[in-house]
Each structure stands twice: as structure tokens, then as C-alpha cells.
């Protein structure tokens, strides 16, 4: 640990240390000295359950036999370059996708199995530097579009009663298999509170999804639109929570 991080640790009062400890929003995460963390999201409609491997070795129970629209909690891994592979939990197993990358202390990595062209699939990686201030209690939010039946979407998180015509999107023009903010950038920070989540066709105010959500202080959300049916534009949203008892919560549109 370098001198700057040691000084920052020394200046943090005991009450704040207690508030930051535990779960997946620890003081070590905020100081950038925690072990790297990895999690898995299954977003391939109609695919069998999947499992995660690192250099051909099966990983923990939470990333074994994971169903569609399921997600794991983060788990610690080592700081090095490895090959990560997702396989179907079938006999014989079929590779869904692989990705090689180097992991770094303080960073969190989300691996998302998604459809590709035709009947193919692939594995997408999101690198989250997790550069959150030690004293911040803001929530962190990112969007990843896994809805192959939808065009690019604008995502709005607004307080109740806000007219969309008066505001711009919180996350603009999120394309299929794209994250906003992108991999390598920090999530957007928002104050905790009650919000209305709305998705529109990008560049318009045509709402294709709406739901009321409660965003807790210090929450860390990945919003993942997925198909609700084969109808174009018909989507649901998965809320992937980093430190919740249920890592993936499915939201349906509320008229």
C-alpha cells in the first residue's frame, strides 16, 4: 500500500470505516487496494444454464449452473492475466464465449454472456475501476443493453412526476451489447432515493419501459435490458446488485 493510501486510511474516522465495511463496497475497494472481483451474468435467452471457468478450472458454486437472467455476487480473484470461459452446464459442455484480461487491485469485473449474430454467443467484459470517494454515500449505476429485440435505447432515472420532455437521458443511446458508461470508466453516481426508471427508443421520448425503483444509498447497480418476448421493443430490465441477497432482480414494465 502506498503512502497516499496509508494517509487516507489514517484520516478516515471509525464511524465511516464501519459504514464502508462489509459487502462489496468496502473501504479497501474505495482505496483501490482490495483483491480484484469478478461476477457473471447470464443474458442469453433460451440458452441452458452456464458455468464459469478460469484457465479451464471451474469457479465457485455461485457461477456454476447459473440460469438465464441469473447473476452471481462478486468473488475475489488474483491479480494476473487469465483466460475466462463460460460453458453450458450440459454434457457435453459447449463454450459460450471466452475472454482474456489482466485483473487489477480495486477493480471489479462483470462477465456477461450475450447472444451474437445468428445462433452464436459471446462473452462481454465490463471493467469497473470503482473510483468512489471514501466519504461518498452516492449510489453507482451503469447500463448494459442485452435486448437483441430492441433498438438503441435512452435510459432515464428521474424523480417521480418529471416530464421526459423537460430532461435529457441519464444514459444516452445504449446500443445492443454496449455498456454506458463503457468498460474502463466509472459508473454514474446518483443520490439514493425513489426514482422512475424509463427506457425510450434512442433520440425520442417514446417510452418502451417504465418502473418505479428505490435506489439505496451506496447501492451499486448494473441495469440490463433483456427481451420480454420476441416482439420488437418489448423488454424487461434486470437490476444486478453487487451486494444484495438476491443479485439479480427482474423488473417488468408498469403502465
Domain segments of the chain: what residues?
A: 35-130, 137-255
Give residue 5's pLDDT.
44
Taking the C-alpha atoms of residue 30 and residue 34, their distance in angstroms, rounded to an integer, is 8
pLDDT tier at 34, thresholds 50, 70, 90:
confident
Q: Is the pLDDT of residue 209 over 80?
A: yes
pLDDT tier at 135, thresholds 50, 70, 90:
confident
- pTM score > 0.85 for this model? yes
* pLDDT digits 0-9 by tens, 68-81: 999 999 999 999 99
DSSP one-letter code for 181: S
The residue among 118 and 137 whose pLDDT is bigger is: 137
Taking the C-alpha atoms of residue 125 and residue 112, their distance in angstroms, rounded to an integer, is 6
On average, the pLDDT of the chain sits at: 89
CB 227 within 8 Å of CB 45:
yes
Q: What is the largest CA-CA distance in the chain?
A: 56
- Output the CA torsion sign for 171, 224, 242, 247: positive
What separation, in Å, do the N-terminal and C-terminal C-alpha atoms of the chain show? 51
The residue count of the chain comes to 255
The residue among 255 and 254 whose pLDDT is bigger is: 254
* pLDDT digits 0-9 by tens, 88-121: 999 999 999 999 999 999 999 999 999 987 778 9
CB 66 within 8 Å of CB 49:
yes
Q: For residue 73, what are the CA distances in angstroms to 42, 130, 170?
A: 13, 16, 25
Which residues are CB-contacts of 110 (< 8 A; sequence separation ≥ 6)? 38, 39, 40, 41, 125, 126, 128, 144, 222, 240
Grid cell at residue 175:
446500443
Query: What CATH number is given for 35-130 in this structure?
Result: 2.60.40
Helical H segments across the chain, by residue range: 3-11, 14-20, 27-31
* pLDDT digits 0-9 by tens, 47-69: 999 999 999 999 999 999 999 99
Amino acid at each position: 500500500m502506498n503512502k497516499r493510501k496509508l494517509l487516507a486510511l489514517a484520516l478516515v474516522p471509525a464511524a465511516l470505516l464501519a459504514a464502508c465495511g462489509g459487502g462489496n463496497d468496502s473501504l479497501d475497494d474505495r482505496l483501490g487496494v482490495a483483491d480484484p472481483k469478478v461476477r457473471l451474468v447470464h443474458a442469453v435467452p433460451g440458452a441452458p444454464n452456464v458455468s464459469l471457468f478460469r484457465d479451464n478450472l471451474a469457479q465457485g458454486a455461485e457461477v456454476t449452473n447459473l440460469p438465464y437472467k441469473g447473476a452471481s455476487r462478486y468473488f475475489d480473484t488474483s491479480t494476473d492475466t487469465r483466460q475466462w470461459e463460460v460453458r453450458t452446464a450440459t454434457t457435453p459442455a459447449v463454450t459460450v464465449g471466452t475472454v482474456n484480461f489482466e485483473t487489477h487491485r480495486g477493480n471489479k469485473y462483470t462477465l456477461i454472456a450475450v447472444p451474437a449474430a445468428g445462433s452464436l454467443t459471446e462473452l462481454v467484459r465490463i471493467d469497473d475501476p470503482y473510483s468512489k470517494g471514501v466519504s461518498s454515500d452516492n449510489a453507482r449505476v451503469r447500463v448494459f443493453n442485452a435486448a437483441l429485440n430492441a433498438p438503441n435505447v435512452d435510459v432515464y432515472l428521474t424523480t417521480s412526476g418529471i416530464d421526459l420532455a423537460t430532461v435529457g437521458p441519464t444514459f444516452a443511446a445504449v446500443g445492443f451489447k454496449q455498456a454506458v458508461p463503457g468498460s474502463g470508466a466509472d459508473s454514474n453516481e446518483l443520490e439514493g432515493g425513489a426514482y422512475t426508471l424509463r427506457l425510450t427508443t434512442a433520440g425520442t421520448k417514446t417510452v418502451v419501459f417504465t418502473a418505479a425503483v428505490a435506489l439505496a444509498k451506496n447501492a451499486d447497480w448494473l441495469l440490463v435490458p433483456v427481451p420480454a418476448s420476441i416482439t420488437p421493443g418489448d423488454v424487461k430490465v434486470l437490476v444486478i446488485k453487487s451486494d444484495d441477497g438476491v443479485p439479480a432482480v427482474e423488473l417488468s414494465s408498469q403502465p
